Amino acid sequence: MFVIPDNRVPIVPNIGIVVGNHAALVIDTGIGQRNGRYVLEQARRLAGGRRLFLTLTHFHPEHGFGAQAFKGAATIVYNAAQRAELHRKGAAYADMFRGLSPAVAAELEGVQFVDPDVTYTGEAEVDLGGRTVLLREVGPAHTVGDQVVLVDDRVLFGGDLLETRMFPIAPYFPPHDTDVDADRWISVLDQLLALDPEIVVPGHGEVTDATLIREVRDYLGYVRAETTRLRGRGATEDEAAERISESARSRWSTWDHPEWTSFAVRAFYNGSSAV
């Protein structure tokens, strides 16, 4: 198993390459054609002529918008909800990301969305030869089509359900995207804790172990509890976001990107937990 690390560079994900006896699986692609081609080159080098598969943890641009480089070179596998979400939101997310910076816009130049060769619902196994690889549909949480990948019952690729020493991203972007299910995200993390993986590869940040799952679960649990408490006392959404963001920044002072707490508060404030 190999990981191309993000090195804590914004809009760069951790990418996995799992090599078996007769096939290899790539997990996520990076953003745009250039990064997709680079990942494909690394996969071919490591696979040494073995058959290639590609899957994505979720549809977001930095994770899956390099998939066109793999079309015809690998068997592409998405869950059905992920494919549908890409169709609904892909173009809007590409436009949103182009607005982040000229450099990101350049990476997305000429991007095309590709359909999978295989779709599944629930769970699917990928036969690499000598390795047990399970794809599991766990959304809606961070996105509707979230997927985790479990290798040999010991290595978990969690996508953006997990970030190491970073506040997790709750993509609550009304009116464009309000599908994040922050309550269910906590439930999914409880399920992942029960798997007790030895190694955890997050969407962003350093490869670590199962303690990360508990850390993210505790953080989201704190935000949910505080949001529910403050809303019950009559705080507005903005007031709750400001107060909880300040306290979370203090509690998790070593984490990067504290601005994301505000989005998590808004997701909980408008979700079922606060009703």
Are 116 and 43 within 8 A, CB to CB?
Answer: no
At residue 275, the pLDDT reads 37
Residue count (the chain)? 275
Range 77-99 average pLDDT? 97
Distance (Å, rounded) from C-alpha 256 to C-alpha 140? 25
The DSSP bridge partners found for residue 54 are 26, 76
At residue 176, the pLDDT reads 83
Instruction: State what percent of residues in the chain have pLDDT above 90.
Output: 96
User: How large is the C-alpha radius of gyration of the chain?
Assistant: 18
Q: pLDDT per residue over 225-246, tens digit each?
A: 999 999 999 999 999 999 999 9
**What is the end-to-end Cα distance of the chain in Å, rounded?**
44
198 burial type by CB count under 10 A (0-12 exposed, 13-18 middle, 19+ buried): exposed
Domain ranges of the chain: 2-161+174-210
At residue 206, the pLDDT reads 98
Are 201 and 164 within 8 A, CB to CB?
Answer: no
Tokens found for residue 143: 């996105």
pLDDT bin (cut points 50, 70, 90) of residue 177 is: very high
Q: pLDDT per residue over 183-210, tens digit each?
A: 999 999 999 999 999 999 999 999 999 9
Strand ranges inside the chain, DSSP E: 2-4, 15-19, 23-27, 51-55, 75-79, 118-120, 123-127, 132-137, 147-151, 155-163, 199-204
Residue showing tokens 């990076």: 30
pLDDT bin (cut points 50, 70, 90) of residue 272 is: low
Q: pLDDT per residue over 44-64, tens digit each?
A: 999 999 999 999 999 999 999
Range 87-101 average pLDDT? 96
Kindly report the CATH number that applies to the domain delimited by 2-161+174-210: 3.60.15.10
* Other beta carbons within 10 Å of 175: 5
Specify the pairing of strand 2-4 against strand 132-137. Answer: unpaired
Tokens found for residue 129: 């030869």
For the whole model, what pTM was predicted?
Answer: 0.95
Residue-averaged pLDDT of the chain = 96
Instruction: Assess whether the previous peptide bond of 258 is cis (omega < 30° from 0).
Output: no
pLDDT bin (cut points 50, 70, 90) of residue 274 is: very low
Q: pLDDT per residue over 129-157, tens digit each?
A: 999 999 999 999 999 999 999 999 999 99
Q: Which of 132, 130, 216, 133 is nearest to 169 (CA)?
A: 216
Q: Is the pLDDT of residue 7 over 60?
A: yes
Q: Is the pLDDT of residue 119 over 70?
A: yes
Instruction: State what percent of residues in the chain have pLDDT above 70.
Output: 99
